[in-house]
Amino acid sequence: MKLSMLALIVLASIRLADAAEFSFDAGNSQLGFTGDYGGEAVPGIFRQFSGKASFDLTQPLATRFVTDIEVGSLDTDYPDRDDTLRGPEFFDSEQFPNARWASTGDCSAAGTRLSCPGTLTLKGQSHPVALDIGFSADGRIVDGKAAFPRSQFSIGSGDWADPETIADHVEVHFKLQLR
């Protein structure tokens, strides 16, 4: 699939030779999620995460990302709920303190955005999860989203497993400042 001209221009605007490595400026970046509890959206963020991005202007569809997330840093602005989410029925952050998303480098163009397949490792399980990403005009900010079923990672067990109580669909969204 051909990369759209705009996406190629954005990647080229980074003004680097052929390949460039970036790390996330976590202090100026956001990584959030939205779940659904009883028909009501429940947004949250992860306060601690890091990552790297690699762009090769000669092969823009080989763009690679790796993001490491401290799941215990989740914050839904409600401490009791956060404690429950960190517990063994959800993220089990004591036994599985980190999650990781790593791209495979086989992105495809979708208009001005890229669709990048990758693997999410969460709660000791790894499954494919694709990201939809876009770039700012200067190429220094990446925004995107992904969606996956929480049950695939055993998030929400016992009484919390019922998708009528907590929807199975979870959305992740991010805005990453690159440096």
Please give the model's pTM, rounded to 2 decimal places. 0.87
What is the pLDDT averaged over residues 163-172? 96
- Which residue ranges make up each domain of the chain? 5-177
Which 3 state secondary structure label does DSSP give 162? coil
Residue 18 has what pLDDT? 55
The predicted-structure confidence for 33-84, as pLDDT tens digits, reads as follows 999 999 999 999 999 999 999 877 677 788 888 999 999 999 999 999 999 9
Torsion sign, CA atoms 15, 16, 17, 20: negative
Alpha helices in the chain (DSSP H): 5-12, 79-86
Which 3 state secondary structure label does DSSP give 62? helix
Choose which CATH entry (3.40.50.720, 2.40.128.110, 1.10.10.10, 1.10.287.10) describes domain 5-177: 2.40.128.110
What is the pLDDT averaged over residues 110-125? 93
If we measure between CA atoms, which residue out of 165, 168, 174, 164 comes closest to residue 155? 168
